[in-house]
Amino acid sequence: MHTADGPLTVRSSSRPEESAGGFLLRGANLSIEHPFGATSFYRNGWNSWSPTGWRSLSDEPLRIYDNPERLLTADDAAVDDPTRHQGSVLGALDAGAGQVLLLGALDLGTSLVGADDGRMWGTGESTGTEWYLAIGDEAVVFAQYAGLVASRLGRATGSVGPVWSSWYSFFENIDEVSLGEAIDDLAGYPFDVVQVDDGWEKVVGDWTEGPGFPSGLERLVARITGVGARPGLWLAPFICLPQSDTARDHPEWLVQDADGGPLVAGYNWGTHYYALDTTRPDVQDHLRALFTRLTGMGFAYFKLDFMYAGALPGVRSGGGHREEVYRAAVELVRDAVGPDTYLLGCGVPMLASVGLFDGVRVGPDVAPYWDNTERRRDPSGPGALNSLASSVARTWMKDWYDVDPDVVYFRSRRTLLDENAGRALVDLALITGFRSTSDPIAWLDADERERLRDFLVARPRIERTGRFAYRIGDREVDFAGYL
């Protein structure tokens, strides 16, 4: 291959075959000598929260530093390498003049793409791993890669309008009284879905109502349909906390580690947590019954969280590659909820979720503050900047699923975000088309309520004009200015 800067030399065990504006290659190890020097590298993280974006090869690699617990939760800890610019599934080099060189895996399985100032490499799990390699206009090349993957793994077809979620205002502090009031206040606002987030359940892993919901989920469903919205619910169905009945009553349900103990799948809620072995028929029965019950109650939207735990390396009773195991488990959920229920994936492995989820979170949690020095070395941590930085670098994934950049804020109370930062989040939601907020109407003044209404119905013309630059209606917005 030739570029304006000189030739590209590709080393692989197979002959490149021309396809889709680039080349198809096979192999466990690919190496490409490139002439671009210490240019920028596009790093893709493994799951929704994993560090993703462009970083100069002369800077420190984009990754999670000094925090093994977060590394396990928010990236592919098993293959982390602090010494290299390397990411999951695909990577790209800035070739100058709007052009990129992209290498991306087309198969499931652990594949890594990395680069230094002379070489880009891909490592796959087997000699049969298929890759796409292309050079050209950035948007075109990413779209060609996305299209090839979607042609293999499919595209879920559900669609959703504006979503109100309880998380970014109330967090786990929800009960039927306070949440019920916030729901009632949404009447007259054109929300498609009202999604109840973490805090409704007894404990993560035991998916029945906690003490704050004595009237039951059915009452909550009625309250939501009463304001003209579809009911949505958060769950993390593939994990359970050590203190859950699920973990205590069914230790045999848990994925094991190499020492024969339950595998620690990650950390949150001030504890470690475990993963369910979804290859077990009894776990499958449990999942089927859970989602049949919740769908039967009237939930039409599920935010399925911490899903990567279903794809972690570990000892499971059944066979199959961990990503195949994950897909089978999500397909089981899909079968139980039916084709018309919207599935939003969060904390999901990005590639392995293609074709299964209608929408996917593409960045870390947003927060009502911009940045936080403690987070400088943890780009997966909550914050508006971290969330925006990953999400704006993953808009090309729209060919795989709806791209959820997380909620926007209109409130001026209980937030440290200034107007500029608030505008950036709103613009990001407008370009992805996924609109959500957690602002309770009661927290908004008249002007903020008006801006929320405008946002919920806005359909501006969107045109991408650069890596991070867009025309939104008649405004020019370059997100590079925020990064």
Binding residues for ligand 9PG, rule: CB under 6 A, are 49, 70, 73-74, 167, 197-198, 234, 268, 305, 346, 365, 380
Cα distance between residue 239 and residue 265, in whole Å: 8
The least distance separating ligand 9PG from the CB of residue 15, rounded to whole angstroms, comes to 42
Tally of residues, the chain: 483
Q: Where are the alpha helices (DSSP H) in 370-444?
A: 384-392, 419-432
Question: How many whole angstroms from its chain centre is CA 206?
Answer: 24
Nearer to ligand 9PG, 74 or 265 (CB): 74
Nearer to ligand 9PG, 94 or 197 (CB): 197
Could you tell me whether strands 22-26 and 201-203 are parallel, antiparallel, or unpaired per DSSP bridges?
unpaired
The least distance separating ligand 9PG from the CB of residue 85, rounded to whole angstroms, comes to 22
Determine which one of 94, 365, 399, 427 is catalytic: 365
Tokens representing 382 are 């909550």
Cα distance between residue 132 and residue 477, in whole Å: 31
Residue among 424, 406, 387 nearest 344 (CA): 406
Nearer to ligand 9PG, 129 or 380 (CB): 380
The least distance separating ligand 9PG from the CB of residue 73, rounded to whole angstroms, comes to 4
Nearer to ligand 9PG, 146 or 346 (CB): 346
Is 117 known to be catalytic?
no
Nearer to ligand 9PG, 270 or 281 (CB): 270
Task: Kindly tell me the burial class for residue 423, based on how many C-beta atoms sit within 10 Å of its own C-beta (0-12, 13-18, 19 or more).
Answer: middle
The least distance separating ligand 9PG from the CB of residue 312, rounded to whole angstroms, comes to 14
Nearer to ligand 9PG, 73 or 88 (CB): 73
The structure tokens 């979607």 sit at 150
SS3 338: coil
The least distance separating ligand 9PG from the CB of residue 344, rounded to whole angstroms, comes to 10
The least distance separating ligand 9PG from the CB of residue 267, rounded to whole angstroms, comes to 6
Nearer to ligand 9PG, 132 or 302 (CB): 302
CB-based contact 47:75 (threshold 8 Å)? yes
Determine which one of 305, 378, 402, 406 is catalytic: 305
SS3 179: helix
At position 77, the amino acid (one-letter code) is A
Cα distance between residue 44 and residue 86, in whole Å: 8
The b-or-e profile of 197-225 (16+ CB within 10 A means b, else e) is bbbbbebbbbbebeebbeeebeebbebbe
Nearer to ligand 9PG, 39 or 50 (CB): 50
DSSP label at 2?
E
Nearer to ligand 9PG, 41 or 306 (CB): 306
Question: How many whole angstroms from its chain centre is CA 448?
Answer: 28
> Virtual CA dihedral for 30, 34, 38, 44, nearest 10 degrees?
-40
Tokens representing 111 are 């594949």
Is 66 known to be catalytic?
no
Residue 17: strand pairing partners? 24
Residue 360: strand pairing partners? 345, 403
The least distance separating ligand 9PG from the CB of residue 96, rounded to whole angstroms, comes to 35
HEC-encoded secondary structure of 429-483: HHHHCCCEECCCHHHCCHHHHHHHHHHHHCCCCEEECCCCEEEECCEEEEHHHHC
Tokens representing 206 are 């035991």
The least distance separating ligand 9PG from the CB of residue 379, rounded to whole angstroms, comes to 11
Cα distance between residue 214 and residue 212, in whole Å: 6
The least distance separating ligand 9PG from the CB of residue 391, rounded to whole angstroms, comes to 12
Residues with catalytic function = 305, 365
